[in-house]
Chains A and B, each alone.
Chain A
Amino acid sequence: MASGTVRTPNPNSRPAVLVQVANALYALGNFTVFCFKSISSLTTKGVQRGTLLPAAYQIGVQSIPVVALTGLFIGMVLAVQSYFQFHQLGMENRMGAMINITLVRELGPVLAATMLAGRVGSAIAAELGTMRVSEQIDAIDSMGISPIRYLVVPRVTACLLLVPALTIVADLVGVAGGFLYSSLALNIDAAQYFYNSKEYVTGFDLATGIIKSVFFGISIGLISCYHGFLCRVGARGVGRAATGAFVSAFVIILFLDLLLGIALDTIYFQFNPGGNSLL
């Protein structure tokens, strides 16, 4: 190839593993720098006028139907699943508490974010990837305009604001779905259902869900913009950016869900040593 010696790694030798590790660390470092640049641009310069609204429309408004549908099914599935167990214990009147806690703390935020990673994240990655491949991002840069500020900041901000908002939509529809299925199909007493929900679902449960969704939103925004910016030439490159964005965002959402679940519960039990048991 080039003048001088070029070492091609042998895939069967141990150094090849090291090369892989080195590449992974390099990518992680790259992503960290990207996040740092984006967040510092957001905090020091704010959002460029006229860029937030189109991003918010694309990310938020157009996602309402799918997110609401997701919420509806989660609520109903939870009702179906918990009924059998609660019925055997003769506690079906307390199902509302269980359904709604699971919904607002866990499944609402996680599944809404997963849905949005698929719908919004891959669309952002494909759009920015196409712009990278057709040199539009270079063109922005060549005019002395920061592509991070013009393209990334509005999208990350929109995700940051709208993923929690859409999570609330999913929660609301889910609560309604769980209630309707329980009272209409399973003949649970409506008053009991709501009384128990009110007793056991705390503000902390709601806050846990919303705090999680804020982190999910930032992750979806940053990960999908990063995949778009790194896109390789060709239609296959754009496709890979889109699926790559979804897969990484999904893994990170689950990882953050675990981490935040542990962290927030630890904080909670510092202040409420007894907790709040269903039994």
Chain B
Amino acid sequence: MSKSKETIDVTRLDEPLVQVDNLVVSFGTHEVLNGVSFSIARGQTLAVIGESGCGKTVLLKSLIGLIQPAAGSVKLSGADIATISSATLAELRTRTGFVFQQAALFDSLTVRENIAFPLSFNEPSDQSIEERCDQLLIELGLDPSISDCYPGELSGGMRKRVGMARALMMRPELLLYDEPTTGLDPIVSDVINELILRTRINHFVTSIIVTHDMKTVRKTADRVLMLLPASQLNKGENQIIFDGPPSELDRTSDMRVQQFVRGDAGDRIAALVSDNSFTDGEWK
């Protein structure tokens, strides 16, 4: 597959780690991303917020080529992922950790095998891998004795942390979190927030955190993007309706951002009533 030997210059620190230009993703006639552009400098932690179904997961997956865009480009360390060979793309992916919304642990493997999976595939298993698994579990506040359990035997919060450990195993330079705190109680959520902060310092990673959780945003991010569902855009409007530090969120004049930040349904219920799908307290 890889006839040309491409080299990706990782030492060019001035180059943005991720650069997205005019990304368009659609499924059939349903356009999810409609020309999204942004870039992230090394070491930055970016939060992506927006209502359910606006395309946050799709955006995250497009960044490492799990979803093919209809148009536009994604560059990782300056390399356009659509034009590089599959071997180079695989190499770039090993330097990226992805924490999935439902953890996506392999059901048939134990916790330790899950965490070691990215390495065991390339290298014969040895003592140091096992030690590193245990070390990561401890770092994420889990008891190493769970490493012989199967994912089905763990709670949601534990699974998310095992998913984080698996993402950290390859010592990534870019970490992509898909809703790291969704579905967890407030205390475990805060533990995860702390872990995201600590991971950033300990491993010097660049992170993108997709979330609905404003607490996570304020605690971990130095920059926030808010996406609007493509269907709600005014003509010619950019899908990213907010781009700035979290402290700016409260000062923006855009009502849609304010509503999201405050968690306020606003005129949504009124809109439902007027289109007759919700009348007399019942859905039609």
Interface residues, chain A, CB within 8 Å of chain B? 1-3, 6-8, 48, 131, 134-136, 138-139, 141-146, 150
Contact = CB atoms under 8 A, between A and B. Distances in A.
Given A1-B30, A145-B121, 6 more contacts: A136-B105, A142-B93, A143-B94, A144-B90, A144-B93, A146-B90
B249 interface: no
B6 to A, nearest CB: 15
Contacts of B34: 2-3
Nearest to B124: A49
A143 B31 contact: no
Contacts of B51: none
Interface string B81-93: 0000010011111
Contact of B29 (A8, A134, A136, A150): A8
B61 interface: yes
A143 B95 CA distance: 8
Contact of B102 (A2, A3, A131, A134): A134
A139 B98 contact: yes
Listed residue (A6, A7, A48, A142) with the most chain B CB atoms within 10 angstroms of its CB: A142
A218 B46 CA distance: 46
A6 B104 contact: no
Interface stretch (B186-194, B211-219, B227-235): B227-235
B29 A135 contact: no
A47 to B, nearest CB: 13
A142 B236 CA distance: 33
User: Chain B contact residues: over half helix, strand or loop, or mixed?
Assistant: mixed
Interface size class on chain B is: 20 to 34
Given A135-B102, A142-B64, A143-B118, A2 B231 contact: yes
Contacts of A135: 100-102, 104
A143 B163 CA distance: 12
A261 B125 CA distance: 49
A138 B118 contact: no
Given A2-B34, A3-B235, A142-B96, A134 B104 contact: yes
A138 B230 contact: no
B170 interface: yes
Contacts of B233: 3
Contacts of B29: 1-2, 6-8
A145 B90 contact: yes
A141 B118 contact: no
A12 to B, nearest CB: 19
